[in-house]
C-alpha cells in the first residue's frame, strides 16, 4: 500500500476514532487550530497552564507543541506535557515557529528537543534548518529567502536522523522524511500564505493523524496533504472573493474532506 493510500485510510480512522489532541499553541491562531482539528474529525483541547498541562496530556491521544507566541509561562508547560506524553507513549508534534529569530525561541527549541522525545517536527525550511544546526536568516515566522538555497530533502533527513523522528518541511513542495524514505507533496495554493495560522493548523492536523497511528511518516504526510488539498478546494470556491472568505473556505474544505478525495487529489512523490 502506498503512502497516499495509507494516508487516505488514516483520514477515515481519524473520523471514526475522534482522537483527543492536546494543543499548547499560540493565541494568534488558537481558534483556527481548534476548528481545523474539529473539521478533520478529531477533538481539540487547549491547556497551557503548568498545573494541568501534563494531566490533560495523559488523557489525550496526541500532543502538539507550538512556540508561536512564546512566553516564559508556557515553556515549563510545554516540557511538562512533553515528558508526560513520552511517559504514556503518546506522539509529540513540535512546531518550532520562528526558531532562529530570537534567543528565547532558540533556547526554548533546544530545551524542548533535549528534554522531550519528538515524534514529528513540522516547520518551514528556515525553522527546520535551525534545528539542523545551519545558519539561518529567519524572517519572523516565515521562511527566509536566503534559506531557500538549503537542500530541503537533506535538511529533513538530517533532522529526522538526529532526533529519530519524522520531519515535515512545508513550502511550495512539502518534504516529509523519516531519515531514509522521502515523500514530496505538491498540493497547496500560494494564497495559503496570506492567511495567518495555516502552518499552525497543519501541525495540529498532523497531530490528529498521529493520534490514530504510530506510522508517523504517513501521519505527517496526511496532515500536510490535507491542508494543501483544502487550500486548493478553498481557492476554487472563494479565492476570487478575498482572503477572509478563503480563510473560512479552508475550514469548510477540511470538514468535507474524506479518504477518497484525499487519495484522488493528493500529489505525492515517494522516494
CA distances from 41 to 9, 64, 252 (A): 13, 16, 12
Report DSSP letters for 128-143, one per residue. Answer: HHHHTT-----BTTB-
Is 46 annotated in a binding site? The answer is: yes
Crossing angle of helices 243-256 and 30-40, rounded to 10°: 30
98, burial (CB in 10 Å: exposed 0-12, middle 13-18, buried 19+): buried
Is 133 annotated in a binding site? The answer is: no
Which three three-digit cell numbers place residue 34? 481548534
Is 105 annotated in a binding site? The answer is: no
CA distances from 188 to 80, 174, 176, 233 (A): 34, 9, 15, 9
Instruction: Report the distance separating Cα 118 and Cα 97, nearest Å.
Output: 15
Report which of 129, 72, 81, 62 is spatially closest to residue 101, judged by C-alpha positions.
Answer: 129
Is 197 annotated in a binding site? The answer is: yes
Instruction: Report the distance separating Cα 131 and Cα 124, nearest Å.
Output: 11
Residues whose CB is less than 8 angstroms from the CB of residue 51 and which lie 6 or more positions away in sequence, other chains included = none
Give, as one character, the DSSP assignment of residue 223.
H
Residue numbering of the annotated binding site for ATP: 122, 170
Binding residues for substrate: 46, 197
Task: List residues forming the annotated binding site.
Answer: 46, 122, 170, 197
Amino acid at each position: 500500500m502506498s503512502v497516499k493510500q495509507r494516508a487516505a485510510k488514516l483520514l477515515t480512522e481519524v473520523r471514526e476514532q475522534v482522537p483527543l489532541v492536546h494543543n499548547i499553541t499560540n493565541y494568534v491562531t488558537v481558534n483556527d487550530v481548534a476548528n481545523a482539528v474539529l473539521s478533520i474529525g478529531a477533538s481539540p483541547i487547549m491547556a497551557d497552564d503548568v498545573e494541568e498541562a501534563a494531566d490533560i496530556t495523559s488523557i489525550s491521544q496526541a500532543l502538539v507543541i507550538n512556540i508561536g507566541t512564546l512566553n516564559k509561562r508556557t515553556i515549563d508547560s510545554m516540557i511538562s506535557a512533553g515528558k508526560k506524553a513520552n511517559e504514556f507513549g503518546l506522539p509529540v508534534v513540535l512546531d518550532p515557529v520562528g526558531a532562529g529569530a530570537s534567543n528565547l525561541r532558540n533556547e526554548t527549541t533546544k530545551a524542548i528537543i533535549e528534554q522531550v522525545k519528538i515524534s514529528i517536527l513540522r516547520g518551514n525550511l528556515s525553522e527546520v534548518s535551525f534545528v539542523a544546526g545551519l545558519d539561518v536568516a529567519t524572517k519572523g515566522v516565515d521562511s527566509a529567502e536566503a534559506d531557500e538555497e538549503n537542500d530541503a530533502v537533506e535538511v529533513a533527513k538530517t533532522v529526522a536522523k538526529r532526533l529519530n523522528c519524522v520531519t515535515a518541511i512545508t513550502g511550495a513542495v512539502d518534504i516529509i522524511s523519516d531519515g531514509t524514505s522521502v515523500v514530496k507533496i505538491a498540493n497547496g495554493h500560494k494564497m495559503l500564505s496570506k492567511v495567518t495560522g495555516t502552518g499552525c493548523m497543519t501541525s495540529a492536523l498532523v497531530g490528529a493523524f498521529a493520534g490514530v497511528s504510530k506510522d508517523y511518516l504517513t501521519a505527517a504526510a496526511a496532515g500536510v496533504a490535507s491542508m494543501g488539498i483544502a487550500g486548493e478546494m478553498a481557492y476554487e470556491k472563494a479565492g476570487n472573493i478575498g482572503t477572509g472568505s478563503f480563510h473560512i473556505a479552508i475550514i469548510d474544505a477540511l470538514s468535507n474532506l474524506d479518504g477518497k478525495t484525499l487519495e484522488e487529489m493528493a500529489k505525492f512523490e515517494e522516494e
